[in-house]
Amino acid sequence: MSCCTPARDGDAPRRPGEVRGRGSHAVPQATVPGGGFVMGDAHGDGYRADGELPLHPVRLRGFDIDATTVTVAAFGAFVAATGYVTDAQRFGDSAVFHANAADPSAAQPVPDAPWWLSVPGASWDAPGGPGTVAAPEHPVVHVSHADALAYCGWAGRSLPTEAQWEYAARGGLDGARYPWGDAHPGSDRVKIFEGDFPWSPSAAVGTVPAESYQPNGFGLYQCVGNVWEWCADRYSARYYARSAEAEPAGPDRGAARVLRGGSHLCHDSYCYRYRVAARSHSSPRSSASNIGFRTVTASNTR
C-alpha cells in the first residue's frame, strides 16, 4: 500500500451499466505551455523506495489542465446525469481518517494504520460516513482511479500523465521543492496536518475549498496538500531510469496507479510528500477521504 492512504485489494461488484452520455466539465482551466523540465527530486528530500530519482529531462506539448481538483459540485453533476455509482458505494465502505469519522465506533481500524478507519457508508457525498455532507466547493474524495476515469469519459477529459502533473505543478519553477519555491510552507500556503501526527492535531483536520491559497505560476491551486491526485500512469519505482524524454506515459505493466501531491494528512514526521517531485501509489479500486483528482484535455494525452 502507499505511504499515506489505505489500499484496497480485489474488484468491486460488477457495475450495473456503463456511463451514459457526455457532459460538461465545470472546472476552471489553466493553460500550460509546451516545453521541457527536469523531472524528479533535485534536493535529495525523497524516500528512496518511492523512485523519485534519477533526475531526467522531459519534453511535453502544451495542454490545458484543471486549475483546481474536481469539486464535489462537478462530480455531483456527473452522478446526476449518469446515475454513476462509485467503487466506495459498491464496496459499502471507504477509508476515513479517525478525526473525520462521523461514528468511529461503527468502523474498523485499518491494519497497520489504526488512524485510518474503514467506515461503512463513507462516499463522495458523505465523506465522514452517514450523516455527513460534502461541501460543494471542496475537492471530491472517496473516488477510486476507476471512478476518476469514468468521470473523464463522461466529460471528454483525461487524467494527467505523471509528467504532465509534475510539470504543471511546478508552475515554471524547475527544480523547486514546492509550487512557490523552496521556502518551507506555513498554514497560509498549504493544507497539511498541524500538530503531532496522527492523534493530536492542533488545527482542524480535513479538506479546504479547492480554490484556496495562492495559485502557482501556471494558475493551478493546491498542487500539494489538501488531497492526493490520481494520475493516468501505472506506478513503478524503477520507471525513471528508463523513462522516455518526449511525452512519457509511465510503464506498460503494473497494477498500482500513481498518486501525486500529498494531502491534508501529510506531516514531516510521517509523510513528507507534499512536494512537487514526491510520488505515491495505490491500487486502482482504492478510495479514501484524502484522494481526489484533476483532469486535462483528452486530446493532449496518450
Residue with cell 488512524: 115
**Residues 6 or more apart whose Cβ sits within 8 Å of residue 293:** 69, 70, 140, 143, 148, 151, 159, 229, 230
How many CB atoms sit inside 10 A of residue 147's CB? 28
- Residue showing cell 473525520: 100
- The pLDDT of residue 1 is 43
Pick from 181, 245, 229: nearest CA to 37: 245
Alpha-carbon distance of 58 to 294, in angstroms, equals: 21
Confidence (pLDDT) at 10: 59
Q: Which residues pair with 30 in a beta bridge?
A: 65
Under the phi-then-psi rule, with left for phi > 0, alpha for psi from -120 to 50, and beta for the rest, what region is 262? left
C-alpha cell at 63: 495542454
200 HSE (CA, 13 A, CB side): 2
List the grid coordinates of 195. Answer: 500538530
Residue 204 buriedness (CB in 10 A; 0-12 / 13-18 / 19+): exposed
Tallying the residues shown for the chain, one arrives at: 302
Structural domains of the chain, ranges and CATH numbers in brackets? 29-300 (3.90.1580.10)
| 108-110 and 63-66 beta bridge pairing | unpaired
Give the C-alpha separation, 193 to 205, whole Å: 7
Quote the pLDDT of residue 30: 97
d(CA 161, CA 296): 9
Question: For 48, which DSSP code?
Answer: G
**Residue-level pLDDT at 140:** 98
Instruction: Report the phi/psi class of residue 222: left, alpha or beta, with left for phi > 0 and alpha for psi in -120 to 50.
Output: left
Mean pLDDT by 10 residues, the chain (302 residues): 68 42 84 97 95 98 97 98 98 98 95 95 98 98 98 96 98 97 93 96 97 97 98 98 98 97 95 97 98 84 42
Rounded Cα gap, residues 128 and 123, in angstroms: 8
C-alpha cell at 207: 479538506
Q: Among 285, 232, 226, 220, which Cα is nearest to 259's?
A: 232
